[in-house]
Amino acid sequence: MSKIGIMGGTFDPIHIGHIQLANQALTEKELDFILFVPNHTPWMKHDRAVTKAEHRAAMVELAIEDNPAFKLSIVEIDAGGNSYTWQTLEKLKEQYPEDEFFFILGADSLLSIEKWAHPEKIFINAVILAAVRDDCDKAKLDKQKEKLTEKYHARIQLLSMPPMDVSSTKIRQEFYNDSQIRNLVPEKTATYILQNHLY
């Protein structure tokens, strides 16, 4: 039985916060590998245009290709339409019936997970690994963990990662010059962004 980490996201673009989060989960929880799963259409982010899925997947692929423990899964992109984590986990269960899933997320996602479709199905199929982020402190995260554990019997473990002040929103919205972009996203991804004039 393998311990498989699952990192879902829009990855518009993937950045060093995502990579740091995945690395922390991999080492702290001794996972066998991590699947990065870019969504097709993030239905909770309908208020803005999202970069084409092919570009987002390509950026992920370039960011992780040198790490044998990181793999790209295009299960959500192939499915098309709105992406729902509960559905993705059920599909991945068919591919990996013997294995244990660890869904990796940042504090903002843990705080909003009850707004996602069928959170109870997510909690059945995966242990949740959550990291602090931005101004969400540990006390707030502890409280949310307690609430979800009581309400859904969720299995939630907090990762001991120092907060990293980076987000895809900032990368999209702020004006960064080429060398600043290279500090926020992995090297090959940065080259891809600049060559394709994505942001």
DSSP-assigned letter for residue 91: H
**Which range, of 71-79, 150-158, 166-174, 185-193, touches ligand ATP by CB under 6 A?**
166-174
**Which range, of 143-151, 160-168, 175-183, 186-194, touches ligand ATP by CB under 6 A?**
160-168
Amino acid at 149: T
Residue among 58, 131, 148, 181 that touches ligand ATP (CB under 6 A) = 131
Beta bridge partners of 82: 41
Give the footprint of ligand ATP on residues 8-27 (CB under 6 A): 9-12, 17-18, 21
* CA 185 remoteness from chain centre: 15
Task: Give just the sign of the alpha carbon dihedral 54, 196, 67, 103.
Answer: negative
Residue among 112, 169, 180, 196 that touches ligand ATP (CB under 6 A) = 169
Distance from C-alpha of 68 to C-alpha of 86, rounded to nearest angstrom: 26
Q: Would you state the structure tokens that stand for residue 111, as one six-digit string?
A: 């705080």
Site residues (CB under 6 A) for ligand ATP? 9-12, 17-18, 21, 105-106, 108-109, 131, 133, 164, 166-169
